[in-house]
Amino acid sequence: MINDSLNYLRTSENWVRTLLVGGILTLLGFLVVPAVFVLGYIVRVIRATMHGDDAVPAFDDWGELGMDGLKAAVITFVYGFVPTALAGLLVGGSIMTIVVGGNGNSGGLVALGGIALFVGVLAMFALGLFAMYVVPAAIANFAETGELGAGFRVGELRPVLTSGKYFTAWVSGLAIIVAGSIVSGLLNVVPFLGVVVGGFVGFYAAVAAYYLVGHAWGDLREIEMHEGGETIDERPVV
């Protein structure tokens, strides 16, 4: 399956154009709007592959692409913001405790602040990792239903998140993305080359990773696309 995911984009006759558009949008992601369109494309990849359709989506119908991307961005933001905010409050509070303890020559308070700081950093890492794990499944549920709220339906997400198939797909996808980052980093020995190539490598890796997520979601939710029609048979996980 990993080999299929790595070759997925290249199965399209227009894969070079798709890679160019996706890579450029990824490079311009700091402008926010291009990143939204990339997320919209990712939603298309998930929506197609969960139905067993391995035809590579095109960058077209930009209005729909943007709306899907915006909803996926909201899902990503909520899952990322909440744990970060909670951990941030803990880290900020612990730093203030250390400062107050230091000014008051209170070794106990400083020690308490140090412990709280360690716990806060650890919590930030753990919650961030948890958010990274949940977001692909949340976006997949949105892609399946078309409803923004589906990304937050814990009851529908839990059976997928606790399955070995999803975990394997997520780990494999993460490995692809990390490998792409390493390649881009190595290319940084040549000024600007790593940054530019990184945009295209990053897009390619993300598509490959979400190909795996889409297939895992489709298998777990038992979504099937009937040949010659648009009728979709969906049976939720028990």
In the DSSP assignment, the letter for residue 1 is -
Residue carrying structure tokens 């795996």 = 212
Q: Phi and psi of 224, rounded to 5°?
A: -125, 140
Here the tokens at position 147 are: 């409803």
Q: Report the run of H or E that residue 224 belongs to, with start and end.
A: strand 223-225
3-state secondary structure 30-65: HHCHHHHHHHHHHHHHHHHHHCCCCCCCCCCCHHHH
Each residue's pLDDT, cut to its tens digit, for the chain (238 residues) gives 889 999 999 999 999 999 999 999 999 999 999 999 999 999 999 999 999 999 999 999 999 999 999 999 999 999 988 777 776 776 676 677 666 656 655 566 667 767 766 777 787 788 889 999 999 999 999 999 999 999 999 999 999 999 999 999 999 999 999 999 999 888 888 878 888 899 999 999 999 999 999 999 999 988 644 443 344 444 444 3
Q: How far apart are CA 98 and CA 93, in angstroms?
A: 9
At 162, the amino acid letter reads: T
Is 233 in a helix, a strand, or coil?
strand
Is 164 in a helix, a strand, or coil?
helix
Q: Phi and psi of 96, rounded to 5°?
A: -65, -35
**Looking only at Cα atoms, what is the longest distance across the chain?**
76
- What does pTM read for this prediction? 0.84
Here the tokens at position 79 are: 């899952």
